[in-house]
Structure 1
Amino acid sequence: MSGEAVWRPDVPIGPLTTYRVGGAARWFLTVHRVEDLLDVARRLEGRAVLVVGKGSNLLVRDAGFDGLVVQLGDAFAGIDVLDGPRSDEDVAGSATVRAGGAAFLPVVARRTVAAGLTGFEWAVGVPGSIGGAVRMNAGGHGSEIAESLVGVRVVDLRTGEDGSVPASDLDLAYRSSNVRDDQVVVHADLRLRPGDVAAGEAELSEIVRWRREHQPGGQNAGSVFTNPEGDSAGRLIDAAGCRGLRIGTAEVSTKHANFIQADAGGSADDVFALMVAVARRVMDEHGVELHPETRMVGFPPFAEAIGAAP
């Protein structure tokens, strides 16, 4: 539903993340039109700005964010399947799916399977938005969004620039891209292959079953650290004796060592402190430097935190 885009002061950000901990934004804005985004560029006046999607990969310090947090409203959650190939390189019968930046990944996965398309089933278990998935090149089960992404429409909240960017210009790599905190993915175009609906639904069910069996629920943001080349962050953390390690209101999951659980009413600063403690122990035990997959706001650079005296 559209409505006036109002800057609201001192809005808690923790409830908008899957950790459900963390401080407030000095200003918060839900946008309903592209024009609202362009208005931000005119009014930002040097303020810090942060774009928040589903908050499934975000940790904001307890002291909060002294700037403007922008979140896309439901008007940006549309999913449209466009018939037919979009270029000479397309497989016969393939289609482009245009998904809004606020579209929920599991919904996109189910909608595309129902439309007889394949290639996006992996996303059914990722509780994020399309915009966030592009920004971090999200993936799972051997796939990632880069494999199907054709291009995006991006609005720069600093300059007001609004344009289309091909996927080849996004520097997509393992859990990263060149999309910045002050840029908004308005929509993304995905090219998917024709598939069998029944087979796709079976794959969705298997992915959901696997995740429930192997990954914890509750207040977490999924994998905390990216996997080092040729190894698993979870294995390294477990081997370093960190499974079940607790600092204050945060604990390394006993179900999967690359997950950190936050207690209800807990502290984002505790989560960060535990991340640092885990990374230090892995460095001491294995000589491997872990790199956060979690997007952290307001905290010191992670490499510096690891190097600081305990």
Structure 2
Amino acid sequence: MTFDIDTALPILQERFGERIRRNELLSRHCTFGVGGPADIWMKVEKRQDLIDLVTLCSKHRWPILFTGNGTNVLYADAGVRGIVAQIALTSYTIEEQTDGTALLQAGAGVSWPSLLNDLAAKGWGGLEFGPGIPGTLGGAVISNAGAHKGELGQVLEWVDVLDARLCEETPIEPEVVRYPHADLALSYRHSRFRAHRRVQFDEDGYPVAAPRRLIEPAEVIMEVGVRLHRDDPQTLKAKISEYKHHRKVTQPPQKSAGSVFKNPPGDFSARLIEMAGIKGLQIGKAQISERHANFIVNLGGAQAADVAALIREAHNRVLEQFGVNLELEVELRGEWKVAPLS
């Protein structure tokens, strides 16, 4: 997959102006604080801009990677070739229904923690379990994010996506499709949008990035519909405060991408990693957190390769000692070793 930055740059600048940045370090755009440059980086703030961008990439065969706030991603030290576009659709509305509930219609770039303050003040419950989920609502759909016995799938009604799957083969304009709840294949830390993003491990135990498409992902989440219910504002604020405190005392303060591995059935990844004897293990400036073993933290100046090496060590040790094949929750993006197409 080739990309000529000098050809693409003036075309993109003509359409999107000063939003286009060249050789932007991705370490500035992810919570791990690691990652090399994107050839071109931009922020997409309007639905029509998103449609136009995908159409341009399909026409010119430019590789593009769409991302959110970078809370669940490990960018390679070599960066990402082509275009990286952050989904920043941040508007939302609350439509009260006759049955005492409300429908929240929110852009995929809306920050979950920021949204909660507004909902609580207005007495709308449904998402209060997630103040410790640092990402966007769009990113939360992909992994069916959850905490404190709640998950997004419990209140999610529909998702609007920009379907660019046919653009891979033919330079055409993508279409907007709405998936109802029943078509989202939601389960523990999984949705229909996760199926093609799973990271594998090679014979030596190193994480291997999923194959990259021309337009990645091929179904770009644009907007979500969430069912809310009436609740007492003070009760909601108290719950949010309690959950924030829990996060503060149980999770490390350093830069990280949250939980590295999914919990296996009937157990906890953190417990297995700690029992394997590698809690606190450090490679370079990355460390398996001393506070929570399912977090890898950046102690300052870490490289993506350091994080990947710790992922390998944790995965291998748990597999060897307990026979449990931990599944990676963090996604690898950029110039990594890539798994063969299946």
What TM-score do the two structures reach when normalised by structure 1? 0.89
- Report deviation, 1:300: 3.5
Q: Deviations over 1:179-204 (max 9, x none)?
A: 26243222111001221111111100
Q: Does 1:118 align with 2:133?
A: no
Residue matched to 2:6: none
Preserved contact between residue 148 and residue 190 of structure 1 (Cα < 8 Å):
yes
- Report deviation, 1:254: 0.2
Residue matched to 1:79: 92
Note closer, same or farther for the CA distance 1:275–1:240 as it changes in structure 2 (3 Å cut).
same
Residue matched to 1:134: 141
- Report deviation, 1:41: 2.1
Residue matched to 2:85: 70
Residue matched to 2:178: 164
Match of 1:51 among 42, 66, 77: 66
Residue matched to 1:274: 310
Residue matched to 1:89: none
Preserved contact between residue 45 and residue 90 of structure 2 (Cα < 8 Å):
no
> 2: distance between equivalents of 1:141 and 1:217?
20
> 2: distance between equivalents of 1:172 and 1:124?
21
- Structure 1's unaligned 5+ residue stretches are 86-91, 304-310
Residue matched to 2:260: 224
Equivalent residue pairs, number: 293
Letter in 1 for 2:323: G
After superposition, residues 256-275 of structure 1 pair within 5 angstroms as 256-275=292-311
Q: Does 1:285 align with 2:321?
A: yes
Letter in 1 for 2:317: R
> 2: distance between equivalents of 1:49 and 1:59?
17
- Report deviation, 1:255: 0.3
Preserved contact between residue 26 and residue 67 of structure 1 (Cα < 8 Å):
yes
Q: Deviations over 1:71-97 (max 9, x none)?
A: 123xx2123211115xxxxxx311111
- Structure 2's unaligned 5+ residue stretches are 1-15, 168-173, 194-215
Letter in 2 for 1:51: F
- Report deviation, 1:110: 2.1
Q: Does 1:39 align with 2:52?
A: yes
Residue matched to 2:221: 185
Preserved contact between residue 35 and residue 75 of structure 2 (Cα < 8 Å):
yes
Residue matched to 1:307: none
Note closer, same or farther for the CA distance 1:5–1:186 as it changes in structure 2 (3 Å cut).
farther
Note closer, same or farther for the CA distance 1:168–1:244 as it changes in structure 2 (3 Å cut).
same
> 2: distance between equivalents of 1:41 and 1:202?
43
Identity across the alignment (%): 35
Q: Deviations over 1:225-259 (max 9, x none)?
A: 00000000000000000100111121000000000
Residue matched to 2:237: 201
Which moved further from structure 2: 215-224 or 166-175?
166-175
Residue matched to 2:11: none
Residue matched to 2:154: 147
Q: Does 1:244 align with 2:280?
A: yes
Residue matched to 2:116: 109
> 2: distance between equivalents of 1:293 and 1:169?
22
Note closer, same or farther for the CA distance 1:109–1:78 as it changes in structure 2 (3 Å cut).
same
> 2: distance between equivalents of 1:216 and 1:4?
39
- Report deviation, 1:42: 2.0
Note closer, same or farther for the CA distance 1:21–1:230 as it changes in structure 2 (3 Å cut).
same
> 2: distance between equivalents of 1:64 and 1:46?
19
Which moved further from structure 2: 218-227 or 155-164?
155-164
Preserved contact between residue 51 and residue 182 of structure 1 (Cα < 8 Å):
no
Preserved contact between residue 80 and residue 98 of structure 1 (Cα < 8 Å):
yes
Q: Deviations over 1:256-306 (max 9, x none)?
A: 000001132220111011101110011111110111110111334689xxx
Which moved further from structure 2: 184-193 or 57-66?
184-193
Preserved contact between residue 23 and residue 37 of structure 2 (Cα < 8 Å):
yes
